[in-house]
Amino acid sequence: MYLTEISVQLLSMLFVLVIGLYFLMFIFTFYRKEKRRTKEQDVRRYTFEYCAKEMKELNKYTYNLNSTLNNGKDIFFEILNIFDSLAVGVYSEVLNEEVVRLYFGSYMRSFYEDNRMNLFEMRKNKNDAGLYANYERFMEEWDFREDRLKSLNRRMK
């Protein structure tokens, strides 16, 4: 069976159309990946800048206890506010979790371990179960992930 001249032209146009669509899909996929990558870089950069600003505040409270704040309770609440706002930023995906952990990890962990009972007592006294719950959830999930990673590493050995 021989193809007529019109059918050959239609097939060649269809072939060019399919290749063109494939090329457009390739360009669109590349564009979306690049846009996602630059968005992640922007979030990381913003997180770093935000963490640097918050670290200055934290240092003001931890190293200069003779600041304008009058007693330890005020300092305790200020530090809790900083850590809770970082946790909210991570959960709302405004801040990058990895950068927050690298920047504040040891501070957040030691403060939580030292003041876990104070936090429970404060909630009980104020009758507010959600008080600084984001910070607590962030720390509990972090501990859970680390424990799970350790148990997986033990199984693999």
* Predicted local distance difference test score (pLDDT) of residue 138: 93
Instruction: Answer left, alpha or beta for residue 93, where phi above 0 means left and psi between -120 and 50 means alpha.
Output: left
* Predicted local distance difference test score (pLDDT) of residue 87: 93
* Predicted local distance difference test score (pLDDT) of residue 72: 64
Separation between Cα atoms, residue 64 and residue 55, nearest integer Å: 13
Contact 65, 75 (CB under 8 A): yes
Q: Let me know how long the chain is.
A: 157
pLDDT in tens, the chain (157 residues): 566 888 888 888 999 999 999 999 999 998 888 888 888 888 888 888 988 888 888 887 777 555 444 566 778 888 899 999 999 999 998 899 999 999 898 889 999 999 889 888 988 888 888 889 999 999 999 888 877 777 777 777 6
Secondary structure letter of residue 15 according to DSSP: H
Separation between Cα atoms, residue 93 and residue 47, nearest integer Å: 10
Separation between Cα atoms, residue 3 and residue 79, nearest integer Å: 80
* Predicted local distance difference test score (pLDDT) of residue 24: 92
Contact 47, 99 (CB under 8 A): yes
* Predicted local distance difference test score (pLDDT) of residue 139: 92
